[in-house]
Amino acid sequence: MLSELWRADICAPRLRGDWSPENKTLGQCSITAFLMQDLYGGKVYGVPLDDGNFHCFNVVGDCVFDLTSEQFGDVVLHYADCPEQLRETHFAKEEKRRRYELLKARLFARVEAMRIV
């Protein structure tokens, strides 16, 4: 369902020019990870990237899941010993909080539309 909701308008601004329908997960990691945390609990962690940013993923219990890893193609990401990512830090950026709210609204609207059918 998320793959139908990810669009360029909620991609991280620094990556928006590279976003495409063929790579829908590009720039969607943190907003997706925090939304999944809302739904499933757990914690959000970040794989350190060469550019100083983090690629966010979820850990719930003993399960590690990364819904946006496709953006890295064949690159193997290492999920061990990654720092926890806090929503307060990420959402200190107003634009990121707005992108998260838009993704959340799209998801809940889609779920509601499915319930009506």
CA atoms within 13 A on the CB side of 108: 10
Q: Supply the pLDDT for residue 107.
A: 95
Mean pLDDT, the chain cut into blocks of 10 residues (117 residues total)? 94 96 97 97 96 96 96 95 97 96 95 80
Q: Supply the pLDDT for residue 28.
A: 98
Q: Supply the pLDDT for residue 116.
A: 75
Q: Supply the pLDDT for residue 4.
A: 92
Q: Supply the pLDDT for residue 117.
A: 60
